[in-house]
Structure 1
């Protein structure tokens, strides 16, 4: 024990020395949630590291007037940051995993290192606009206004010449660092400010100190050796008991698919448990329905609330594939994807064969409910719509990029975007997704999806790629912005698709008319236009014109320009006046707005006329 205490003392001295020459105070991070470091997803871990560092730099600017630490302190600052991450109990190596070198922590935007240099670069009128929006508690709609202002007004004065910036603090984050440190009265450590500008949440045990943590760790080391063998014995006993319980369940359910993995964390429920949770599938518990069957709200025996999806027209012959499917889905975890908790299969003479999945419950229902359903009278404000758009894109990007092989959802629509208690969007119902090798185009003989959301090349030819999901995402984004359904009729009972309607407005410079009227706390006109143009780009009827969902997400989350949007083929739903007006519009069109925002060009494409038409 004496040796352990000495080692602990030397380790503490080492940590003190590592941070001695670094002026940044990384201890403030203990006040904020660091859960992403334990996610196992490198992208999320690096994002957590960037958010942490931006908060620390903002506090440094507030107390010292500098955006960045001195170059000769770069390595010491990295070491101090790494030590702080280690103190959280994570073994994540931020430099090697995220690809940063020592100097990247002291490089910034346009060689701006001090508050005075920033204020010289950004005119006082623009800074006054920033202050008006951000000089308040940044909760609720105030955050929306501040964030929108910071993403637009100062950025024209902070543009890098290079398209690739390797440092952590590029020009897009400087306004947030400055606003939190200088303009906001609560400073960067205020919970609302940290959440709004750096996406960090406070933790309840923010008063913990690191000395106690290291002492507890040292004591734990001495005890853990003694408990090791006992713990191993207990684990073996528990696993044996779990297998016994599982065997009893399988015996009670009759013959089950041979592919069921006994080591899976997925819960296999008995049909009686499902009946009890849903009050015997009471109609009062129905919270959704579709071609697959009904969704019920359920309460399990432990008190947890779940969503129970009951499939209809099932047969025992499909259980083998069903069990494999739910096992795959249950292994996919992301904050913007609905988690699968368990499933049930059961024969029944009266009701037929039962096939059920149990998912986490979303208290705010679906996006469809808020746009067109029972909650449509409570219009979403601009901040909520932006949060939902980003959540949709992040969930879809995870399916396309971080799951191997990639998952194509095939049925992105408003009713499959669910909202938790904080209006965080989660993509649901990817149980029928197809798994395709990277870079391979899948040609399906069975088109899944919902009319109005399905990409033209998929609906007409069965050609399925990740960009089929991007098209559906663009349609849902237009619904979110406009409050209109994907397919609707005009005042003259003329059928119209939302993409054709929005495009016609954008072409004549009336992009802002796409936005739902009487929206609460709408954002700045230039930001609104960006969202509309991103939606139109994603929902372009020609596959090669669409971005990947990763590219669309980067445009939404940063100040990257929206690429030029090629002109669209004639809509499938069009009258003679539409055709004549489109045919007479020659050359390149310019999309402009009353807000004076940068216009977006449309390029006429001669081959577009021969391609598949969109309806």
Structure 2
């Protein structure tokens, strides 16, 4: 009797498992045919470039994100309705990768079906676009910064910066799911905010962080070069020395006046930041003099780009490490709090178009004299 019961249980389990698999294979609501036609860099997953497969896993997450962003655009839902449909989609993804001579076993190693199922306990309970608008109070900077051609460095940087700002806003509702909220922000930017959609090469490369094949990158680079030249020409023609000088004087005066009024408050904030926020973020504290030396005094020659929230310079630390130094400009009265949130969130987020946080610096006029 005991053997018969065990055998029956095994038969039931076998039947149930096959029934689930057969049901799942036909329930994926995402068309993954783009996997074989989109010009993505498949060498990331064909070659073991790092021992943990981080680059391949990030690539596969971005690749699957193209389909999720399109699904959001078509259905107004950020994720898949149930575990069966999610498992089916990942199974289909394995099949597509195998056709490209990529090991299908990479999918379960990098992606979990449960992570793509709609769940009210993730990211402030957001399930649909309507939930999103309620949480962010309508449209945001994403809707304007992430429109159009995302090829240019400045436009792409502005879109990524806007995404971090919205993610900070969502973190106020759900601090424990900042990574999930950031993924939702990326899906919204690619699927809703950008009119070209997530399957557009420029959109996928910038917003979803999708690495492109060499041929696609060359075309994108040629387009960027022409765009840069046009911007430079129009910029030179439109530049008036008198206006720039007047604007510079106004900006310097506003900074001086604002720092004089807030200097004592800011010094208290610097002390608090170094003792509480910085250790939690796992970042290094840099002195202003180190950053000035690394960027040659924030020289215009080292200027990489400028977005809506600051200026980015290329720098080289004393140990030879090449870094990007972002200088935040014209903070409002809530700037200190925003900066704390940004440091904490960036230290947790991993994205192709976001550099890992190495350290930060907060200073005031009085501290500059001591550095």
TM range (shorter): 0.5 to 0.7
Partner Cα separation in structure 2 for residue 71 and residue 116 of structure 1: 20
The equivalent of 1:89 in structure 2 is 101
- Aligned with residue 308 of structure 2, among 521, 524, 533: 524
The 5 Å alignment of 1:96-495 reads 96-98=108-110, 100-107=111-118, 108-124=122-138, 126-127=139-140, 129-140=141-152, 141-153=154-166, 155-159=168-172, 161=174, 163=176, 170-201=180-211, 482-484=295-297
Check 1:163–1:157 CA distance in 2 against 1; reply closer, same or farther (3 A cut): closer
Deviation (angstroms), 1:56: 1.2
Partner Cα separation in structure 2 for residue 115 and residue 47 of structure 1: 25
The answer to whether the 8 Å contact 1:60/1:67 transfers is: yes
> Normalised by the size of structure 2, how large is the TM-score?
0.53
Question: Structure 1: which 5+ residue stretches go unaligned?
Answer: 1-14, 207-377, 379-469, 485-513, 535-546, 568-577, 583-614
Deviation (angstroms), 1:178: 0.8
The 5 Å alignment of 1:486-525 reads 516=300, 522-525=306-309
> Normalised by the size of structure 1, how large is the TM-score?
0.34
Deviation (angstroms), 1:561: 9.2
Larger radius of gyration: 1
Larger helix fraction of residues? 2
- Aligned with residue 50 of structure 1, among 61, 71, 84: 61
Check 1:111–1:555 CA distance in 2 against 1; reply closer, same or farther (3 A cut): same
- Is the partner of 1:198 in helix, strand or coil? coil
Equivalent residues, number: 248
- Is the partner of 2:66 in helix, strand or coil? helix
The answer to whether the 8 Å contact 1:151/1:559 transfers is: no
The answer to whether the 8 Å contact 1:155/1:559 transfers is: no
Larger strand fraction of residues? 1
The 5 Å alignment of 1:602-613 reads none
Check 1:16–1:81 CA distance in 2 against 1; reply closer, same or farther (3 A cut): farther
Deviation (angstroms), 1:48: 0.9
Check 1:518–1:67 CA distance in 2 against 1; reply closer, same or farther (3 A cut): same
The answer to whether the 8 Å contact 1:109/1:171 transfers is: yes
The equivalent of 2:266 in structure 1 is none
Partner Cα separation in structure 2 for residue 59 and residue 133 of structure 1: 19
Deviation (angstroms), 1:39: 2.0
Partner Cα separation in structure 2 for residue 66 and residue 19 of structure 1: 21
Partner Cα separation in structure 1 for residue 114 and residue 75 of structure 2: 20
Check 1:524–1:477 CA distance in 2 against 1; reply closer, same or farther (3 A cut): farther
Deviation (angstroms), 1:475: 9.0
The answer to whether the 8 Å contact 1:61/1:178 transfers is: yes
Deviation (angstroms), 1:516: 4.5
**Residue 27 of structure 1 pairs with residue 38 of structure 2:** no
Q: Which has the higher contact order (CA 8 A, sep 6+)?
A: 2
- Is the partner of 2:306 in helix, strand or coil? coil
Deviation (angstroms), 1:527: 7.8
- Aligned with residue 88 of structure 2, among 62, 72, 76: 76
- Aligned with residue 37 of structure 1, among 34, 45, 53: 45
Check 1:580–1:49 CA distance in 2 against 1; reply closer, same or farther (3 A cut): closer
- Is the partner of 2:180 in helix, strand or coil? coil
Deviation (angstroms), 1:517: 9.3
Partner Cα separation in structure 2 for residue 130 and residue 566 of structure 1: 27
Per-residue Cα deviation, 1:43-102 (whole angstroms, up to 9, x for no partner): 11111111112111111111221111112422212212222222221114235423x543
Question: Structure 2: which 5+ residue stretches go unaligned?
Answer: 1-20, 217-231, 233-283, 314-323, 329-342
Deviation (angstroms), 1:38: 0.8
CA RMSD of the aligned region, Å?
4.8
